[in-house]
Amino acid sequence: MKIKIGLLGLGTVGTGVYKLITSRGGHIRESTGVYPEIKKILVKNLNKPRKVKVEGLLTQNAEEILKDKEIKIVIEAIGGISPAYEYVKEALSSGKHVITANKELMAKHGEDLNETAKKNGVFLKCEASVGGAIPILHQIDRLKITDEIDFVGGIVNGTTNYILTQMSTKGKSYEEALKEAQQLGYAEANPDYDVKGFDSLYKLIILMRKVFNVNVPVNSIRRSGIDGIAREDLDYITEWGYKLKLFAWGKKIENGVFAGVEPVLVEESNILSRVNDVNNAVILKGDSFGEYVFVGKGAGELPTGDAVVADLIDILLNYNIKDNDAAKLLPVRQGSFTDTFYIRLKMHKGDILNLQKILNFFKREEALILESSYENDTFAAVIKLKTNIDVFVEKLNDKKIGELKAIFKVLQEDIDELQLKEFEDLVGVI
């Protein structure tokens, strides 16, 4: 038995999908009983040189795929919102299964498209939209059957991870690392989509919809990228045995969710510190299994194509695990997944009591200093708080001890309480 497939786009992802389906078609038939055959491929330019032999398959008219009743599955690999949204909507509405690698599309219109798929009795799969080759959405489907997952987070953008790896391990500047990433094809000529955190944000929304069964507006999540990271901060962070990663995270609470996309410090003992270059990692925390960390290639022709083909096999096997509840709209509240933070203060120049003032303030607020440095009127530290970070920063600003220049969350292991007494003794001496 054969099943006809229409492929929208033949760029990096589309080429990877084509290679895998044509080279593994026989194996797929042995596993599923169905042989997948790509009938038509939508492209912008018919005469563009291709890495694969596609004679007779190319078209510039999407209707040749969307109106073809023989084509039962459409794979969308063109990216962006328009015309991808219109094509996917039409395909679903006409009773075709759809597989997409488009994270922006699924983040902004996923609920609408899922409803269209459900209404028409077809599948909408998007494994390749998050984590590249990591089969994270499949794993979440399985884990949700037996466990309550209350946290999802990770390194989900390979471009920024490559840049930060080069900056922290090779000592390169942001500009040098970015230029190298562009030369290697990891970053676009305009890198804002990656370095400002938009790509990670879209993937986080997809993950939270899958994990928590919630929908959150794109603009409701705090987002900061890596383009504003100061060399000074990276030097302190590296010296103290941490790595800086762009971290996307969501935490379920009773009446909403906490969420964010931001640079976060990770201890060198943490597995995430060893996820370098374009690799991705996703953390899940649940009530029964504790914590899982999934690591794999975050981008590329074949890794992403592999995730698309995994969705294809699920459809051919008629496999589907339904969500227990329909996704509901929940507010994103301001909060944190940690009580440990990195801060850098620019102190008032020439005030010899600066250090005493800051240490006394920290003691009054019961803030434990884990690492610290004071030089050239700059105070940097990793601190563990007992109060809310926003309240702490507000009090710090009110005291006008110094100007807050940087603040990052820390994915911190358990702290030895003996350190608290050592800190108190230090303040007493000063």
Domains of the chain (ranges plus CATH)? 2-125 (3.40.50.720), 136-297+322-333 (3.30.360.10), 340-429 (3.30.70.1110)
Mean pLDDT score, 160-183: 96
Give the Cα separation of 346 and 341 in Å (integer).
17
Q: What is the rounded CA–CA span in Å between residue 417 and residue 261?
A: 30
**pLDDT tens across 270-294, in order?**
999 999 999 999 999 998 889 999 9
Binding site for NADPH, by residue number, is 103
The pLDDT, as a whole number, for residue 333 is 86
Query: Which tokens in the block code for residue 40?
Result: 């038509």
Give the pLDDT confidence of 53-67 residue by residue, as tens digits: 999 999 999 999 999
Q: Report the pLDDT value the prediction gives residue 413, as an integer from 0 to 100.
A: 62
| pLDDT class of 423 with cuts at 50, 70, 90 | very low
| Residue type at position 393 | V
Annotated binding site for L-homoserine: 188
Mean residue pLDDT across the chain: 91
How many Cβ atoms are within 10 Å of 154's Cβ, its own excluded?
A: 29
Q: Calculate what percentage of the chain has a pLDDT beyond 70.
A: 94
Rounded to an integer, the average pLDDT of 231-256 is: 95
103 within 8 A of 261, measured Cβ to Cβ: no
Q: Which residue has the tokens 């690698």?
A: 101
Lowest mean pLDDT among 167-176, 188-197, 321-330: 321-330
pLDDT for 380 beyond 90: yes
Query: In whole angstroms, how far apart are CA 361 and each of 191, 393, 427?
Result: 41, 11, 10
Residues 6+ apart with CB under 8 A from 238: 168
Annotated binding-site positions: 8-15, 103, 188
Best mean pLDDT range from 96-110, 123-137, 329-343, 349-363: 96-110
Mean of pLDDT values over 317-337:
75
Return the pLDDT at 352: 67
Cis peptide leading into residue 83 (ω within 30°): yes
Instruction: Give percent above pLDDT 90 in the chain.
Output: 76
Name the residues annotated as catalytic.
203
| Tokens at 281, concatenated | 């990692």
- Binding-site residue positions for NADP(+): 8-15
pLDDT at 430: 40
Which whole number is the average pLDDT over 340-363? Answer: 87
